[in-house]
Structure 1
Amino acid sequence: MSRAMLLFLCLLGVTGVVGQQRVIYITKYLTWRDAQTYCRLYHLDLVTITTAAENNQIDQDTWLGMYRDDSYSDWKWSRGDEPHTFANEWNSDDPDVGEDCVYKRSTDGGAWKSSTCGSVRMFFCLDDSLFVVKQMKTWEEALVHCRSLRSGTRRYDLASLLTPQDHDLLKSQSLEQVWTGLRFLGDRWVWVGGEDVQYNDITPCPEEKRCGVVDKTTSKLYNIIDCKETNYFFCYRKSF
C-alpha cells in the first residue's frame, strides 16, 4: 500500500496496512506511555517497524513503538520488548541523552527523532489478530512470550491453524520455518490454545520431535521438529 493511500485511509478513520501489519491511526494527542496504554487496551500495541518498506509507509508525525529504559539502555519495541534490529533511520543529530522515546517526522525525509516520553503526539496502533515475532526462541520460550502479551481482556497464545486460509497466510510469509501452537502433550497432539487438532496423518507417538512449525520447505500443512530448536514464531489473539 502506498503512503498516499495509507494517509487517505487514516484520515477516513479506518484501518490501513503497513507491510503485512494491520494498523489503526489514532488522532488523539497522548504521551508515549499513554499511547502505549491506549493501544494495549483497545488494540495490540504501538506500531513496530521491521523493514525499510514498512518505515516508508508511515509518513506522518507519530509515535513509534520504540523506546529505551534510560539513555544507557538498548532500544526495543513496545510489543513484547522485542529488540530493535532494523537499520537505524535516525535524524543526523539523534538520539539525544534524556530522550527515551521515538517518533517519526514527516519532514527531514521521514527520519526518526528521539523525544522525551512526556511529549504528546498522535500514533499508530497495531491491530493484528495473527502476527509473527521475529525473535529466535525455543518452543517453550515462544509460548511464554505470546502469553505475556496479555492486555486488558485480550489474551494471546502461540497460533492455532484451523483453516486452509490460516495455513496459506502463514506460508505466504518470507520465512522458512516458524513455530505454531502445535504440541504433543501427555498422549496426544493439542493446540495449546485449546482447539482440536485436525491433522489425520500426524505421528501418533513421537519420540523426540514434539512441536509443530509451518515449514515452507515441505508441501505438508505442518511439520514437527525438536522443541529445543530456535525459530521465529506466530502469536494470535484468542477469541474466547
Structure 2
Amino acid sequence: MDHKQILTFLFFGLTSHSHAILREYHYVDLKMSWSDAQHYCRVKYTDLATFENMDDISRLKRLGLKTSESWIGLTDDPKSWIGTMGNDANSWTWSATGETSKTGYHNWSPGFPNNRGGNQLCGFSTNKGKWDDWACDSRLYFICFQDTNPPGQKTYTRIEKWMNWTDAQAYCRTHYTDLAMMENDQENTLMMSVQPNFDWIGLYREGWRWSDKSDSSFRNWMNGQPDNNGNQYCVAEKSNHLWLDDSCNVEKHFWCHEVPSVKTIVKMKIQTDADLSDPDVNIQILDQMDEMLRNKGLTDFKLRWKIQPRKEEEEDKDEDKCPVAS
C-alpha cells in the first residue's frame, strides 16, 4: 500500500563568515615579498590583513617586535589597469555604464596610464585623441556625449569650462548623457572631431583593492602617500600604523587576518510520496536540496544519504533515512 514518507533533513557544518565578527590579526615575524606573504596568509589564516576602521587598527599588537614596515592586504595590481580594460575592482571603468569596456577597446598613449604620483585615477584625451591618466581634482575642459536614437550612435560636445573630473561628470549627466565614452576607433575618431586638447573623458578607476576582495574603503595613508615612486603597487603599515606604498618585491614582515567561522545546523521534515528505495530518486532529491542551499549562499558542504538506526517499527517507515550535509 502506498503511503507518504517523512524525510528528515539535517544539515550541519555549513561555514559562513559574519561581518559582525571581528577579524583576528596575526603578526608574522618572517620577511617575504607581498605575493609570498599573501600566499602564506591564505594557507595559515584567511588572507593578508584587511581593515575596516581605526578600531581594527587599534587591535594590532606587535608583541614588542621591532620593525618599521609590514605588508597589509592592500594592492593596486598594474596588470588590472596598465594598457588594458580589465574586470578587476581597480580596472578602468566608463562613467556612463559603471563598467569596463564591453569591447575591450582602449587608445592609451605609449607609456600610459602610469598613475604617476599615486593619484592619477581619471582619464583625459590629448589633442591627438590618445588617452592619458591625470589627477581627478585637476581642472580641465571636458567632452560630453549624447546617445542618439537609435541608441549607440553617439554625438560629442566639447565643454570649455574649467572643472575637476567629478564636476565635469555631473555637468555632462545634467545636460547630456555623460562624460565621453568611446568603444571603438570610429567613436574615438568622432570624438576627435570636436578637437580635444587635454580634456576629461569618462574613464576613471578605484586605485586600490584588498587581497580578500573586501569592499572596505578605509584608508590610513601617511602624509604624501601613496606616491607610486616608479613601481610601488603594494601597501605596508609602519609602526605608527600609517600606510605607505612600496615595491611589491621588497621583503617585509606582514599582517594576516583570520575570520572565525560560524557553524550552522538546520533540521527540517518534508512529507513525500517518493519511493526512497529508488537510487535515482535519492540522487534527484539530493540535487534539488544542493541547488536550494547554494542559492541561499551556502557553499561549504556536501550532501549525502545516511541510514538512521531503526527505532520502533511504526517509526521505521517515517524516519529510517535522511540526507545530511557535512
**TM-score, structure 2 normalization:** 0.34
Higher relative contact order (CA 8 A, sep 6+): 2
Larger Rg: 2
